[in-house]
Structure 1
């Protein structure tokens, strides 16, 4: 699976002034809807790289088990970065098609060329805009719906976009299921890390995130009428990418943590220094993957 190095992502971002201006309205809409992790911040590219390293193997294990192959049509919802659209493009080949959508496509510019022309990028709000026409063999969203206020409507539109027999693969976090950044809370560094993670969860909840959403996915897919519903869960501990993800996330929300008096600048600096040592056993929230077939 082709993956653009982060330095290329940053160079693309530096040369897309017009695209960023066009997306400014979408980013403002994201803020109005309460999205905490703005794609237009420089840390977003680092986060996408780390999330890809952590979760792409899980995502594509499921994609391959679902039989996504040459000639199929896929819709990647809330794509964020390029790794999943490019991985899907490699599987469907030149006779297939991948539509990658997001409310802010800042990190997807040029992905169509990298995907051999198979990937189309489009700004789209899954909870507000009509679903793309034509019917898809696979609709996939990863770590998206937990942040969407009208999750039920977004899910309805994603299912509506499936062709008969098409597969929906939803992968979302459940921070309440395992809330700790350091499950082994063995000292002051780990306690500080877990307190800052608690602050992050509080900011997410304020903006409408459902911190127990992941566990509901199997039931929601069955209630929506999908067949052959299955699910599993995964969360890494002590991957170097966990440290990269944590540092980028804390830098991205630093101002909000301080403004809400959930942490001081000194505490955040101390936590980032602790993360940089590589001695903290950091974890992510569990990611629940659930999939089903439209009859």
Structure 2
């Protein structure tokens, strides 16, 4: 993810670190399970697209070992710093407009990227082109339309306020050309791009401390935009954040994360 002006949740904001940490806590176990199932191992050449943070590319580096390679790209690499490794190459790159940073790859993976990329078709074409014959593509995207409520148990005023703010967040995202139904289209898109052995599943956390941390960081990042768009008042946002801190909305959910994978013939 990045500092592109079209992206609502910029990595330049102070809350970005908390968001990336919460996303890693919530979704890394599912992502790593899929990557293991695809057979990632010693010597693999991998491209982590829109990496955001370090958790996935550095996990991949551990799997591919000294004979493998991991390229981690993003339009904003602010959170990809830290100790360098021989296996991880960090590059600033726009997947929607630039050629792939490497080719003949065994794996290309992107999580929570294409929903926000204006040139999604070009980005997906680029990722497929970067694969060697037999290479694997794993795409993971949230699909808020499959379950739009951040509080599925919408039983009281605190939950109703949380759900109204979440609806406002989706409105802001849609206004920036984010495709909020992209996740469900992934299996079809992989087949349309010529991949075979296509399959998919979805992961849907509905109660976890990281869900709460993610919601707080997200609301803090978009606070001013919610107010300026007339979606919520400052007092309502403060009330929602207090509801989070005092445990009045303990069962916060994420949008379902659709994971789809396939093989290049």
What is the TM-score with the length of structure 2 in the denominator? 0.97
Alignment pair present for 1:50 and 2:19: no
For the residue of structure 1 that corresponds to 2:144, the secondary structure is coil
Alignment pair present for 1:229 and 2:201: no
Whichever structure has more helix as a proportion of its residues is 1
What are the residue-to-residue correspondences of 1:91-102 with 2, within 5 Å?
A: 91-102=63-74
Alignment pair present for 1:73 and 2:45: yes
Task: Tell me which residue corresponds to 2:256.
Answer: 286
* Whole-angstrom distance in 2 between the partners of 1:214 and 1:278: 31
Q: What stretches of structure 1 of length at least 5 have no aligned partner?
A: 1-25
Alignment pair present for 1:254 and 2:223: yes
What are the residue-to-residue correspondences of 1:125-136 with 2, within 5 Å?
A: 125-136=94-105
Q: What stretches of structure 2 of length at least 5 have no aligned partner?
A: none
- Please tell me whether the aligned partners of residues 243 and 278 of structure 1 are also in contact (alpha carbons under 8 angstroms): no
* Whole-angstrom distance in 2 between the partners of 1:40 and 1:195: 26
* Whole-angstrom distance in 1 between the partners of 2:105 and 2:237: 44
What is the TM-score with the length of structure 1 in the denominator? 0.88
* Whole-angstrom distance in 2 between the partners of 1:147 and 1:60: 22
Give aligned pairs, total. Answer: 263
Q: CA deviation at 1:189?
A: 0.1
- Once the two structures are superposed, residues 14-51 of structure 1 have per-residue CA deviations (whole angstroms, 9 ceiling, x without a partner) of xxxxxxxxxxxx73xx10xx110001111111001000
* Whole-angstrom distance in 2 between the partners of 1:273 and 1:152: 41
For the residue of structure 2 that corresponds to 1:75, the secondary structure is strand
Task: Tell me which residue corresponds to 1:241.
Answer: 210
Moved runs in structure 1, 4+ residues, more than 6 A?
none
